[in-house]
Amino acid sequence: MNAIAAKLIAGAVALLAITTGVLYVRELRAELVSAQLEASQAKGDLVARDETIRHLQDDAADKAKQQRKLDADRNGIDAKLAGIQGDMRKLTDENAELRAWASGALPADVIRMHTSPALTGAADYLARVPGGDTLHAAGDSTGH
């Protein structure tokens, strides 16, 4: 009976080893599928990241182009302003009457306009309009 028992035990051990091997292979395959899925997701993430980087680079290039245009426009305006200021200095230096006018005091109405706050929209304008006489419709011949 020892030989049969030994064979049964050997068969059971072999069956256990085969079952363990099959389960191990199944686990490895499941890990492989999981790793392949993670790799696929990582590739998708890389594509999305690369697309975002490309979009940001394009946007940065566009902003740089806009900045160069603004700088060129501002330089042109600055040059034109410098020319106008130079012309005004030249005229002021050449003309005694203009020099006297430029050095004189501003009229009171102009000073008042400079001291009033700037209008920042239609609501500000309407708030400062006096509530006096209303305007008549165009073509209305009522005497004023």
What tens digit of pLDDT does each residue of 88-128 get? Answer: 888 888 888 888 888 888 888 888 877 777 777 777 767 77
Q: Is the dihedral of CA 83, 85, 91, 94 positive or negative?
A: negative
Contact 111, 103 (CB under 8 A): no
Whole-structure pTM value: 0.45
- Which one-letter amino acid corresponds to residue 43? K
**Domain chopping of the chain, boundaries:** 15-92
